């Protein structure tokens, strides 16, 4: 991968998208600070200086319909990377990385893709990891490595994260088992808001390429995308 570093940029995902549209591939865009960081569902993503804000642009050998596995892979890579600095994190479906009893958010992932039929043209996996930042600079419910274990070596951690992600993208069949090992969602009562409805029930399984299986009491439902809340 070519590494493109910015002290400050609106959004590494937006920059990666420019590179994708220019025909580039295998690029990692990194920034110390983002001034217009974006989250899922068009939310803003606080990205003060000191975090790990990065976007990996590639063209993995996956059909577009399997792209969700890349998002789960990224969550696994984040959990495994932060383990190396002594932080035990878990994953809320599909890809929120949370820590502690009160499930504070440590990292989020935003995936973008283009492609049709049987081939992904490009895939951008954007990862925001609250590293050396004050939790006060983050939204309520979020935390940072600084708050948990003190400041970390961002270079080493970013390298571990990107290596792990690259490994997982090359072995998509390994992802669900690793994801399940770190899941906070399976076995929980959940409320999932999809584009068209709200489904409440027990999360019983995750299935390729990343769907959540919910036992509602009136049968099983499988959701491919949505906002998930843990109920108890
Ligand atoms: C979420 O809503 O949980 C996803 C947050 C994703 C944030 C990362 S930070 C690097 C990359 N650039 C962005 O603008 N967003 C992603």
Per-residue pLDDT tens over the stretch 41-65: 889 999 999 999 999 999 998 899 9
For 94-141, what is each residue's pLDDT tens digit?
999 999 999 999 999 999 999 888 889 999 999 999 999 999 999 999
**For 158-180, what is the mean pLDDT?**
96
**For 70-75, what is the mean pLDDT?**
97
CA of 29 to the centre of ligand 1 (A): 12
Instruction: Please choose from 35, 47, 107 the residue to mutate so as to test ligand 1's pocket, defined by most ligand atoms within 8 A of CB.
Output: 47
Query: Which one is the CATH code of 189-230: 1.10.150, 1.10.3470, 2.30.30, 2.60.40?
Result: 2.30.30
**For 66-74, what is the mean pLDDT?**
95
Q: Mean pLDDT of all residues in the chain?
A: 96
CB 120 within 8 A of CB 136: no
Q: Please check the confidence at residue 203 and state whether its pLDDT lies above 90.
A: yes
**For 207-215, what is the mean pLDDT?**
97
Homologous superfamily (CATH) for 2-181:
Bira Bifunctional Protein; Domain 2 (3.30.930.10)
pLDDT of residue 232: 78
**For 133-156, what is the mean pLDDT?**
98
Pairwise CA distance, residues 18 & 26, whole Å? 13
pLDDT of residue 29: 98
CB 139 within 8 A of CB 118: no
Ligand 1 binding pocket (C-beta < 6 A) is: 11-13, 34, 37-40, 43, 45, 47, 53-55, 96, 108-110, 126-128
Question: Which pTM value belongs to this model?
Answer: 0.97
* For the chain, domain boundaries: 2-181, 189-230
Pairwise CA distance, residues 67 & 77, whole Å? 16
CB 216 within 8 A of CB 200: yes
CA-CA-CA-CA torsion sign (210, 214, 219, 223): negative
pLDDT of residue 5: 98
């Amino acid at each position: 991968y070519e590494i493109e570093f910015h002290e400050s940029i609106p959004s590494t995902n937006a920059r990666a998208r420019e590179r994708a549209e220019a025909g580039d591939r295998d690029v990692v865009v990194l920034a110390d600070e983002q001034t217009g960081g974006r989250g899922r569902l068009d939310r803003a993503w606080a990205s003060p200086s000191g975090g790990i804000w990065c976007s990996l642009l590639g063209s993995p050998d996956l059909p577009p319909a399997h792209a969700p596995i890349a998002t789960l892979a990224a969550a696994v890579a984040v959990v495994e990377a932060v383990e190396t600095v002594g932080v035990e994190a878990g994953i809320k479906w599909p890809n929120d990385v949370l820590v502690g009893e009160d499930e504070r958010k440590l990292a989020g992932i935003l995936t973008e893709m283009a492609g049709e039929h049987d081939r992904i043209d490009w895939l951008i996996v954007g990862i925001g990891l609250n590293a050396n930042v004050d939790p006060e600079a983050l939204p309520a419910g979020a935390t940072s490595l600084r708050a948990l274990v003190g400041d970390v070596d961002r270079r080493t951690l970013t390298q571990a994260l990107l290596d792990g992600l690259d490994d997982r993208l090359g072995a998509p069949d390994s992802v669900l088992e690793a994801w399940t090992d770190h899941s906070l969602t399976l076995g929980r009562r959940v409320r999932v808001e999809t584009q068209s409805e709200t489904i409440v029930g027990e999360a019983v399984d995750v299935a390729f390429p990343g769907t959540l299986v919910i036992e509602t009491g009136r049968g099983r439902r499988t959701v491919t995308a949505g906002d998930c809340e843990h109920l108890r």
